[in-house]
A and B are shown apart, each in its own frame.
Chain A
Amino acid sequence: MSETILEIDDLSTQFFTSEGKVNAVHGFDLELERGEVFGIVGESGSGKSVTALSLMDLVESPGRITSGSVGYRNPSFAENMRTSYPDAVDGDLVDLRAIPEDARRSLRGTAFSMIFQDPESSFNPSLTVGEQIAEAVEVQQRATAMPRSGRAKTRGPEYSLGSYLMSMALPSKRYVTESSRARAIELLETVGIPDPAQRADEYPHEYSGGMLQRAMIAQALASEPDVLIADEPTTALDVTIQAQILDLLNELQAETGMTILLITHNLGVVARMCDRVGVMYAGEIVERGTLEDVFDDTVHPYTKGLLGSVPDLEGTADRLQAISGNVPSLLDHEMGDRCYFADRCPKAMDTCLEKPRSFDVDADGRHSVTCYLAEENYDPDRALEEGRFASEGAVSDVGGDSQ
């Protein structure tokens, strides 16, 4: 196993709503290896997007990270943190949950970058695209000049009223420095924007969806991140443009060696991009392994169901194997102690009334599953009867993708 760059242990994020406590992510474990592309796949309400936000420390009220650690491996950062926060540092590994917020946030937009489904949301409509990328470049340069320390003031591209008014008064060419402008143009060129110098002076609304997605990737690259978190980066795009963006991410990953955490609902995108995969359901990873482990040697009935639901582009399956029912409620008091998939699972047995832990499928421990079927065979005599939990009322989707 190569070196890990992120070690996430027992991470939980909860939302405190009027209806009760919502367990969006709970007991989430993940080790990311340097330079890999890891895919998190799940449907809406699975908690995959909240996981991403939790890693970036971007969870907003009424949500809060309630437990767990996020270890980030970086020798120089560890060095900087060691004196002030010795408890947070273990060798090269810094527990980001154990250092103060501003130190943690100094990593955002430098060590970690994130791209989203909707690029409009990460650009300010009143500034040119070039200016905003140049600003991200400045953030990175300031951070390098003043190494990632607890006192770093860099906070990512946030816009003060002053800079906003400035931008209205001087609509374009408000670059911080000539060199950051040049770097911004270079980045736009890297992500395949034709005529980048001219496009740098245009505003976000003058870009097509695919072009703006490229620009957002350029902005994310400005910081030369160790880890790029890509949350549904191609979901809003047409399929020919999606293909371009996936190729671009692949090339950039190969060039820079950055680690990518790719979050998506699209199993085809996972198959195209990822070395390893984690399948999320009801706030936790229920099956993980290499792409081959998860797609070809599937163990978890939910993973099987997901793969069976995708209509085949080449094939002729007469009928899709839908998963019956709906995504379960994530309300703490409704989740119960059984396997969270039990009320939809075609293989549920009496054992499943108790929540399974994560089992290793094979000896090397790379393929693991949160399901008893990893350990025992399905026994129809012990099956739970159909409609077993129906009395508990219809559950509907809790929230949308953001939950």
Chain B
Amino acid sequence: MSSDQMSEETAEQRTRTDQTAEQPLVRVEGLRKYFYEKDSLLDRLLGNEPVAVRAVDGLRFDVHPGETLGLVGESGCGKSTTGETLLHLQEPTEGVVEFQGENVYELEGADKNAFRRNAQVVFQDPFSSLDPRMTIGKTIQQPLDVHDVGTAEERREKVQELLERVGLSADQIDRYPHEFSGGQRQRIGIARALALEPEFVVLDEPTSALDVSVQAQVLNLLEDLQDDFGLTYLLISHDLSVIRHICDRVAVMYLGEIVEIGLVEEIFQNPTHPYTEALLASVPRASTDERDRERQTLSGDVPSPRDPPSGCRFRTRCPQVIPPDELDLDQPVYRDIMNLRELVERENISLELVSSHAEATDEGPLVDEAHIDEFVEDIKAAVLETALPPREEAVIDEALAHLATEDWDGAAEILKDRYESLCERESPSLGEGPHPAACHLYNE
């Protein structure tokens, strides 16, 4: 294909983009992807219930033609699974993905082929995603061969053109991957993804394996290619500065769900969801004021997607978790109490180590009646970080006294009665509008 034809194609794509401005290119509705553990034949024979890992749990978003939508989140939030499921590289558990108005999961024959050509992916690892025994020319040409595009001559020409376009030189066509650096290999991966002139490219951590100086080259290249070919990107990344730099809109994910979505500037300048806020605050800035920048860090780890928290999934770490109306508590105190509840509910306090008044016996730790008060004080000292107001102290003392007889449920019950949060009872929904956030603080 000559470069003239190439620019015609681009112009054509642009018009198409304009015409369908209101129509999303990709529409995702109710997308779920669960993986099942303990699902082997043996497990079934033993009667083990399969455990669902809820990697992606009910996503809804659109990708508009010509934009870059970012999916950001920490490991295990489901962002990469989302990309793969959306391209039908994985079977969805539930939900619909429409590409140009057609359900991707129901495509067959020629339509399915067209989708495969139109939607491409670039993976993170430029080292393992290229076949070491194939010349880079063959690697880039492979999709053209599979889809039987043009004559052999034309394909080779197209590959040379692509090499030049991604900043390599056409005469490198017969070289092997090991002769290239990481950044160059990622350019090769990009050339391959563009071979079939797709409209939509999923970029899955495209620069995570690269050094920052090389990352900058690749990000610049991706932006140029988007302009030249009118591409639509879904960029999956854990790196907030990359997202900020390259995306138009961003969806923030936590434990398989989108917690906030909107324009990049709005989300970075005015994050609404407490998780987004904490995530942004956590990134260390490369500037000399960084040492004095006050920031709140989140405590604890991300809970397991096998057994996500009830209600809002962020509530076990949320620094703004909502106390019951009738309580008048400072946020740090309430957060502290909620952490205590979590420990009690999971029976995660080693009583005999926390208090010298608890003695390990065969029936578990027992506390002498006379020492229950000291025992309760010991637990509070070990677990709580803030000072409690007297009224709450009384409630908590009463609850913790149950632990003297190892009555964890009794203790948990008392605490739940008084401190149960809206955030654990009800799951906040994402809502509508240009910048929705899934948090009870905003969805009244």
Interface residue ranges, A against B (CB under 8 Å): 43-44, 185, 194-195, 197-198, 208, 210-211, 238-244, 246-247, 265-273, 291-292, 295-296, 305-314, 317, 319-324, 326-327, 394-397
Contacts and interface: CB of A to CB of B under 8 A. Distances in A.
Task: Among B182, B213, B241, B288, find the residue whose CB has the most chain A CB atoms closer than 10 A.
Answer: B213
Contacts, number: 146
A311 B285 CA distance: 10
Given A43-B211, A311-B219, A320-B220, A239 B348 contact: no
B181 A396 contact: yes
A310 B279 contact: no
A402 B239 CA distance: 23
A324 B290 CA distance: 28
B283 A313 contact: yes
Contacts of B219: 311, 320
B216 A322 contact: yes
A205 to B, nearest CB: 14
A280 to B, nearest CB: 12
A313 B213 contact: no
Interface stretch (B295-303, B387-395, B419-427, B428-436): B295-303
Task: Among A244, A272, A292, A322, find the residue whose CB has the most chain B CB atoms closer than 10 A.
Answer: A322
B202 to A, nearest CB: 20
A314 B290 CA distance: 13
B156 interface: no
Nearest to A239: B282
B316 to A, nearest CB: 12
A44 B213 CA distance: 11
27 contacts: A43-B212, A195-B343, A197-B350, A208-B301, A211-B301, A239-B240, A239-B282, A265-B211, A268-B283, A271-B291, A272-B290, A292-B288, A295-B288, A296-B288, A305-B213, A307-B286, A309-B216, A310-B212, A311-B216, A311-B241, A312-B245, A313-B241, A317-B245, A319-B220, A321-B216, A395-B181, A397-B181
Contact of B238 (A210, A238, A321): A238
Contact of A240 (B217, B278, B350): B278
B216 A320 contact: yes
A379 B280 CA distance: 42
A295 B286 contact: yes
Contacts of B245: 311-312, 317, 320
Nearest to A248: B297
B288 A313 contact: no
A311 to B, nearest CB: 4
B297 A247 contact: yes
Contacts of A211: 301
A291 B285 CA distance: 13
Interface string B264-284: 000010000000001111111
A268 B282 contact: no
A239 B283 contact: yes
Contacts of B170: none
A195 B74 contact: no
A353 B268 CA distance: 45
Contacts of B114: none
Interface string B158-184: 000000000000000000000111111
B220 A322 contact: yes
